[in-house]
Copies of this chain bind each other. A is one copy, B any other.
Amino acid sequence: MSADPTSLSADEPRWQRRSEERPGEIMRAGLELFARKGFAATRLEDIADAAGVSKATIYLYFKNKQDLFVATVREFAEARVDRIEAFLDNYEGGYSELLDLVLRQLYEVVQTPELRAIVKTLIAEAGNFEEIRNYHRDHVVLKGLGMMTRIVEAGIKTGEFRPCDASATVQSIVFPFLMNSLGRQTFGELPQFDPEALFASHLEFVKRGLAADRES
């Protein structure tokens, strides 16, 4: 309490850190373990060890295990969709190039360990945590699919893409990336799941799948 957090000197007691860092460290350790073992199979003690604190310390920042879990899952998903959304709002140009850019973004984000962990955790635990299920359904999945749908619809209107059911077609476009990420998370790295190969191949596949019919 006497220490100014912005100028923490080196000779503080070893265990003392600024309390603003603790929750993040605990959640980061939690995400990794929750994703690997699931909510029920993850012991608070393992999280505490991974975060370098004791079990009891967790209860200083989180009401209970479930509270930690809900906070963790939300923490690492929140910013991503908004980042893409901001990108879309500022974009000027053709929808074909836009789709290309957005798929690159999605591809990058889906590679990160955090995102893979979140997607896996969401699927595994949505049945047990209505709060998490509803939040991600509304703020991540439907929002994300909606953004993509609007891109496709706009492209159809300008004639860059062929007429189609945009809402359904979006699943043909983005689901391979998500499922590939899940496959790697589930089975580890396999030559069949090489994400570089998938990305190039799928981009070409999408380009042809959406291409407007040639006249003549």
* Chain A residues within CB distance 8 Å of chain B: 35-41, 120, 122-128, 133, 137, 141-142, 145, 162, 164-165, 167-169, 171-172, 175-176, 178-180, 182-183, 185-187, 190, 192, 194, 197-198, 200-202, 204-206, 208-209, 211
Contact = CB atoms under 8 A, between A and B. Distances in A.
Contact of A180 (B41, B167, B175): B175
A164 B201 contact: yes
Given A142-B190, A165-B201, A123 B125 contact: no
A171 B124 contact: no
A113 to B, nearest CB: 13
A34 to B, nearest CB: 10
Contacts of A169: 201-202, 205
Contacts of A198: 168, 171-172
A82 B206 CA distance: 31
Contact of A38 (B40, B122, B202): B40
Contacts of A183: 141
B38 A187 contact: no
Contacts of A208: 162, 208-209, 211
Contacts of A38: 38-40, 124-125, 127-128
B172 A205 contact: yes
Contacts of A180: 171, 175
Nearest to A42: B40
B172 A133 contact: no
A192 B124 CA distance: 21
A171 B202 contact: yes
B201 A172 contact: yes
